Chains A and B, each alone.
Chain A
Amino acid sequence: MARLTINGSLVDLDIEDDTPLLWALRDHAGLTGTKYGCGVAQCGACTVHVDGVAMRSCVVPVGSIEETEEIVTIEGLGQGAPHPVQQAWAELDVAQCGYCQAGMLMAASALLAQNPTPSDEDIRAEITNICRCGTYGRVLAGIKLAAERMATPSDQG
């Protein structure tokens, strides 16, 4: 049994302790926004936040997560209104097929929470998610636009 706090709700899942969080989210909690890309923490499609830290959920055993640690998935990003990264992604048409983008958005939002003014080098070093469609240039632009917006809050959304 695993008791997890996901997007603000406490849920009980009837799963073994060594079940990776990705499968807990997708197959047991019904949250399929987080994607499976490789299963070995190399692609980042499975990225979620645990207490604000971006983690690759395909390799995090649920038994290692305490119920006080807050898990946020793509479904929970942007409470009530789109997160600035989601807004920037929409404006700049960052996604192509979209499969990697939930992971990209989770990695990007975690980066900006930890470093609100990342340089291009910082972004390239920290965002290591793989995109088969090659949206990397637009991902970089999206993060920079979101960072700009977050630095100067206005009455927009």
Chain B
Amino acid sequence: MRLLPFMASAFTLALPSAAVTAQDVANGARIFDQRCATCHEVETGESGPGPNLAGVVGRVAGTTDGARYSRSMQELGITWDQDRLMEFLSNPRGMVRGTTMSVALRDETQRADVVAFLASLSDPADQPSDATN
């Protein structure tokens, strides 16, 4: 499936939590496809209705180039880490009043798997450039 190239590079990165398995990341990719992929790209670098999420873990909220954000998200002033993503995804509007992100992952296992999947994605800034020098 189209997410495989990113997943292949994921396992060269250290997965932060001892409890996260490859199966969790794979399930996270499936849940991402089910609930998130219609608005959020993770490959091409383009943003659609939602910001591109490649490299979101470690990124300052509301700063992806070319993405549309609510004012609330632009003014949030936090850096996404796994704990904050877990909180956000359990109830986006509860954490960021005024966000246009409306999809909540209430099941904690599914949420953790999706966050594990997001954490496994390479940051586009780390990708080798296509430019020939």
Contact = CB atoms under 8 A, between A and B. Distances in A.
A55 B33 contact: no
B34 A128 contact: no
Contact of A61 (B34, B102, B106): B34
A40 B48 CA distance: 12
A81 interface: no
Contacts of A41: 38-39
16 contacts: A40-B38, A41-B38, A41-B39, A53-B107, A55-B35, A60-B34, A60-B35, A61-B33, A63-B1, A64-B30, A64-B31, A64-B33, A64-B34, A114-B106, A125-B93, A128-B102
Given A64-B30, A64-B31, A59 B38 contact: yes
A65 interface: yes
Contacts of B31: 64
Interface string A53-87: 10100011101111000000000000000000000
Interface in A113-140: 114, 125, 128
Interface in B1-59: 1, 30-31, 33-35, 37-39
B70 to A, nearest CB: 14
For the residues of A in contact with B, the DSSP-based class is mixed
| Of listed B34, B39, B102, residue having the most chain A CB within 10 A | B34
Interface in A19-63: 40-41, 50-51, 53, 55, 59-61, 63
In the complex, the 3 A-B pairs of residues with the closest C-beta atoms, listed nearest first: A64-B34, A59-B38, A64-B33
A63 B33 contact: yes
B42 to A, nearest CB: 14
Contacts of B1: 63
A40 B93 CA distance: 21
Contacts of A128: 102
| Of listed A59, A64, A65, residue having the most chain B CB within 10 A | A64
B44 to A, nearest CB: 16
Contacts of B37: 61
A51 B37 CA distance: 19
B102 A65 contact: no
Contacts of A55: 34-35
A64 to B, nearest CB: 4
Contacts of B102: 128
Given A41-B38, A59-B38, A125-B93, A53 B30 contact: no
A114 B39 CA distance: 24
Interface string B95-121: 000000010001100000000000000
A61 B35 CA distance: 9
Contact of B34 (A40, A65, A114): A65
A125 B107 CA distance: 19
